[in-house]
Amino acid sequence: MNLTEQIEALKREKNAIILAHYYQTEAIQDIADYVGDSLGLSQKAAQTDADVIVFAGVHFMAETAKILNPHKKVLLPDLNAGCSLADSCPPDLFKNFVAAHPDHKVVTYINCSAEIKALSDIVCTSSNALDIINSIPKSQPIIFAPDKNLGRYIMKQTGRELVLWDGSCVVHEAFSFEKLVALYQKHPTAKIIAHPESETHILNLAHYIGSTAGMINYVKQYPDEMYIVATEAGILHKMQEQVPNTTLIPAPAVEDNTCACSECGYMKVNTLQKLYDCLLHETPHITVAPSLRKKALLPIERMLTLST
């Protein structure tokens, strides 16, 4: 049997499900039971009746799945799959930040650690961030963390003042404004679509701004257009499947790398071989202390309730 067949056999044997983020490699996306954005993945993790969840994504995502499924085994193919955005919000500093803003509700983007979620009133993703903020009374002051770019986008869209934590994603801050303008001049009929973790000057050029799932839905609505896509390049795989006759061009990064686009090194540490190994040996698996889990669960559940 080849590696893919061996993974399928192990999955059946162990009643496992593979959840993969759009930024995973094509080989992993192709073998996954479900490929989605953070909201979709959290919803799937909350609903699954599998005994084992293999989370092909980064640590905070697998940790969220574990918080939702304390009695299931949650595996992450490589524990080094971290996140620069989650790392930009250390719990001790954030605790002081929250304490310095009494009477504020704390809304956190799901890209953060369980410790940060435990300090939050409600969690959001880029799919539901605007709805979550709009669900809070206008008179209520809000802290938003950890992504300042998403925070600024929410402020612009909702007209609300938010107290922002100064965090960001290295991948979404790597897009080059100059190169993007040059690319657009070369393809003036193309539509620029961007993830709200991108910087404001990139978002200002975009014809559509949304989550990864939102971007895929958008191109499906207008399949005859050409698109320049400003998010992690892994999304192009599923997007192209949905619109096979559309030209998709990854937005260029400041520093050219192998594909001249923006790739998340954390996401890409997972490989098919590591996925097979973790399923075979049931390690590495995610643990969350019960007291921390209890505190982190509530803001995630509030989000899921508001997102059904």
Q: How far apart, in whole angstroms, are the C-alpha atoms of residue 122 and residue 282?
A: 31
For ligand SF4, which is the closer residue by CB, 50 or 61? 61
Number of residues that bind ligand SF4 (CB under 6 A): 14
Q: How far is the CB of 66 from ligand SF4 (least distance, A)?
A: 17
Q: How far is the CB of 91 from ligand SF4 (least distance, A)?
A: 17
**Contact criterion met (CB below 8 Å) for 260 and 227:** no
Q: How far apart are CA 245 and CA 241, in angstroms?
A: 9
Q: Which is nearer to ligand SF4, 83 or 123 (CB)?
A: 83
- Binding region for ligand SF4 (CB under 6 A) out of 11-19, 115-123, 220-228, 261-269: 261-269
Enumerate residues 197-256 that contact ligand SF4 by CB under 6 A: 232
240-258: b (≥16 Cβ within 10 Å) or e: eeebeebebbbbbbeeeee
Contact letters for ligand SF4, residues 95-124 (x by CB under 6 A): ----------------x-------------
CB of 278 to ligand SF4, least distance (A): 18
The footprint of ligand SF4 on residues 164-183 (CB under 6 A) is 169-172
Residue of 31, 45, 65, 83 that binds ligand SF4 (CB under 6 A): 83
Q: Please tell me whether residue 261 binds ligand SF4 under the rule CB under 6 A.
A: no
Q: Of 62-70, 123-131, 163-171, 277-285, which part binds ligand SF4 (CB under 6 A)? A: 163-171
Tokens 């059904």, located at residue: 308
Q: Which stretch binds ligand SF4 (CB under 6 A): 79-87, 114-122, 138-146, 184-192?
A: 79-87
Q: How far is the CB of 171 from ligand SF4 (least distance, A)?
A: 4
Choose, by CB under 6 A, the member of 266, 272, 296, 297 that binds ligand SF4.
Answer: 266
Identify the CA nearest to 186 among candidates 234, 98, 268, 251.
251
Closer CB to ligand SF4, residue 23 or residue 50?
23
Question: Which residues form the interface with ligand SF4 (CB under 6 A)?
Answer: 23, 58, 83-85, 111, 169-172, 232, 264, 266-267
